Amino acid sequence: MKILSSHDDLALIQLYKESGDKAYVGELYTRYTALVYGVCLKYLKNRDESKDAVMQIFEKLLKSLLGHEIENFKSWLYATARNHCLMELRSQKGKTNVDITQRVMENDFVLHLEEESDVEVDLRKLDKCIDELVVDQKQCVRLFFLEERCYKEISELTRLDLNKVKSHIQNGKRNLKLCMERNG
């Protein structure tokens, strides 16, 4: 076997698809661990959670690489890591544990909840904008960006022509951008 580090990203992905040998994904992991960790730390703001997320993302890669046609791995991986973190933040929303025995209120001041983080506000806006898309765009955008399905899978699931799927994703993405800009 050739030295793995001599292959570019796309060659490693192709070799993995052909052979199923996880060593190729391992080389990609070695190259991009710092990038993925940085993205996770930016969104999750917790070192341990970010380390866990890096491992989860690379575990998902084993499956995701087989189902996606990737032209620029680094950009695709960045988007995948970002989406993973946003989904993690969404799933954690409202699940904070506070030990009330440590917080005894001895006066009449009203405690205010912390202001919503920018990420939470953006997620809510994004959800609202996705809901405003036409049905086919909404379905294709959710499958492609949130569930990380490939065009072919989306076409099979929705029974839409492959070119229609691509069009709905492209138009949906543009409409989401416009909606997000309208909503600040």
Tell me the mean pLDDT per 10 residues along the chain, length 184.
75 90 87 90 90 90 86 88 90 61 44 53 79 88 81 88 90 86 80
Q: Structural domain boundaries of the chain?
A: 4-92, 120-182
Q: How far apart are CA 55 and CA 36, in angstroms?
A: 10
pLDDT recorded at residue 105: 45
Q: Which CATH architecture has domain 4-92?
A: Orthogonal Bundle (1.10)
pLDDT recorded at residue 62: 86
pLDDT recorded at residue 161: 92
Torsion of CA 143, 177, 164, 142, to 10 degrees: 10
pLDDT recorded at residue 53: 92
Looking at this protein, which amino acid is placed at residue 71? E
What pTM, to 2 d.p., does this model score?
0.51
Q: Retrieve residue 34's tokens.
A: 């710092």
Could you tell me the fold of the domain covering 120-182?
Answer: Arc Repressor Mutant, subunit A (1.10.10)
Q: Retrieve residue 149's tokens.
A: 């399905």
Q: How far apart are CA 145 and CA 141, in angstroms?
A: 6
pLDDT recorded at residue 97: 52
Query: How many Cα atoms sit within 13 Å of 34 on the Cβ side?
Result: 1
